[in-house]
Amino acid sequence: MSQQFYSTKNPQKLVDLKEAVLRSLPADNGLYMPQKIGKLEDSFWKKWRELSFAEMGFQIASAIFEDGVPSQDLEEIVYDAINFPAPLVEVSQAQYVLELFHGPTLAFKDFGARFMARLMRWLTRHDQGLLTILVATSGDTGGAVASAFHGVEGTRVVILYPKGKVSDLQEKQLTTLGGNIIALEVDGTFDDCQRLVKSAFLKRQMSEELNLTSANSINISRLVPQSFYYFEAARQLPIDQKPVFVVPSGNFGNLTAGLLAELIGLPVEHFVAATNVNDVVPKYLESGMYEPRASLSTISNAMDVGAPSNFDRMLNLFGGHWEQMKGRVSGFSFDDQETRATIQNVFKQTGYSLDPHGAVGWLASNAWRESNPDSQTVVLETAHPSKFIDVMEEELGKGVIEIPERLACLSQRKKVAVQLGVDEAAFHDWLLKLRD
């Protein structure tokens, strides 16, 4: 059997894996979800602690996709995508940090983006012409997507970013790869970039001729690999006690992947959603009222989201019931001042340097432990602190945080970007030239 996918807005209308992944969003504006989620078999649990991270990922992906991708191909995709570790570090007594930043762009988004790239390549292996991935980015997502698709045969990525509005290192991540990655520096805002991308998808004929697809964060293929590392964390815990997962959250893809891991059988005590002042979900958990609003800027900026795009998916997993979600997920939110103090305090007390997102998680872990002191908590550390070097130096001083070589070496590389205005017609003309 092959897994099918429904839209959260219309459970009756099913599509196959290829459509769900290449379309990303159903036409009804819902989100794709796997139709049936079975449990991992006993044979998995007999030997899961002895499996490698990639082997475990392969077995989990098989359980979710069923025969949608033949075993051998799926194994290759997972092994190629998950080629870096997710170590668990005990930072203080029974309080762990799961380091998800050992991938090429130093953030957990590498897991989802690398898997999606290889799966898209496989799904279009018999199609004519290159698959063209169009992305607008305000910073980090573009870097993870560019790196994930770099060198993946049969694909080409066009990234639009706003001129002068991303950090130097972020810009280098987009503009120095070359090969099948093309960066467009748009003389406008992030919203202009998004508008240009949308306008291209609306041009039906061009969109088909160029095999356009998007790589945005609500793609179902990004969630699946994010469930792997919840298992990887549980496996590294020294005592067999169900963990509480604390997830620094923005669009809530990461937390939704945790719920998926639990659904297929991972024993989990509880989930804690940690946010900065963009606290729409913690507020919802408290009151039952979902009130999305404009986002506020913070130092944990990857979580500055006022209308979390995966909220409907999360709610869907609880049958739309607030009480049920509240029973499994607790929410806490913190401001920048608390986050900064935590970066300092944890470093002073333990020598461990948390990035601003991880620090929000740490605060939530402490808040949870106040009323549940016997819990074993695992905070997902979503980015390497060197990605936020300015904040880290303000709190810890210079020279404490080392910038890993794969980031540091970028500053030497030469930027290559195509200059573009905000005019839609000019952008379409440029795109059409890619056909030749």
Ligand X SMILES: *Cc1c(COP(=O)(O)O)cnc(C)c1O
What is the binding site for ligand X (CB under 6 A)?
A: 107, 109, 140, 248-254, 302-303, 357, 382-383
Amino acid at 76: E
**Number of neighbours of residue 327 by Cβ within 10 angstroms:** 11
Smallest gap from Cβ 235 to ligand X, in A, equals 22
For 212, the enclosing helix (H) or strand (E) is strand 212-214
Minimal CA–CA distance to 16: which of 90, 60, 67? 67
Smallest gap from Cβ 170 to ligand X, in A, equals 12
- Cα 234 to chain centroid distance, Å, stands at 20
CA 385 vs CA 22, 300, 342, 378, 396: distances in Å? 33, 11, 13, 18, 11
Q: How far apart are CA 247 and CA 88, in angstroms?
A: 14
- Cβ distance to ligand X smaller for residue 180 or 249: 249
Mutual angle of helices 190-202 and 424-432, in 10-degree steps: 60
241 with 47: CB under 8 angstroms? no
- Cβ distance to ligand X smaller for residue 21 or 431: 21
Smallest gap from Cβ 360 to ligand X, in A, equals 9
**CB half-sphere exposure, 268, CA atoms < 13 A:** 26
- Cβ distance to ligand X smaller for residue 211 or 301: 301
- Cβ distance to ligand X smaller for residue 30 or 248: 248
**Number of neighbours of residue 304 by Cβ within 10 angstroms:** 17
- Cβ distance to ligand X smaller for residue 7 or 251: 251
Smallest gap from Cβ 99 to ligand X, in A, equals 12
Mutual angle of helices 109-123 and 71-81, in 10-degree steps: 140
- Cβ distance to ligand X smaller for residue 48 or 245: 245
CA 219 vs CA 24, 130, 200, 267, 391: distances in Å? 5, 20, 19, 26, 31
For 116, the enclosing helix (H) or strand (E) is helix 109-123
Smallest gap from Cβ 253 to ligand X, in A, equals 3
- Cβ distance to ligand X smaller for residue 227 or 249: 249
Kindly calculate the radius of gyration of the chain based on its CA atoms and give it in whole angstroms. Answer: 21
302 with 106: CB under 8 angstroms? no
Residues in the chain: 436
Smallest gap from Cβ 42 to ligand X, in A, equals 31
Amino acid at 206: M
Smallest gap from Cβ 100 to ligand X, in A, equals 9
- Cα 168 to chain centroid distance, Å, stands at 22
Smallest gap from Cβ 364 to ligand X, in A, equals 13
- Cβ distance to ligand X smaller for residue 75 or 336: 336
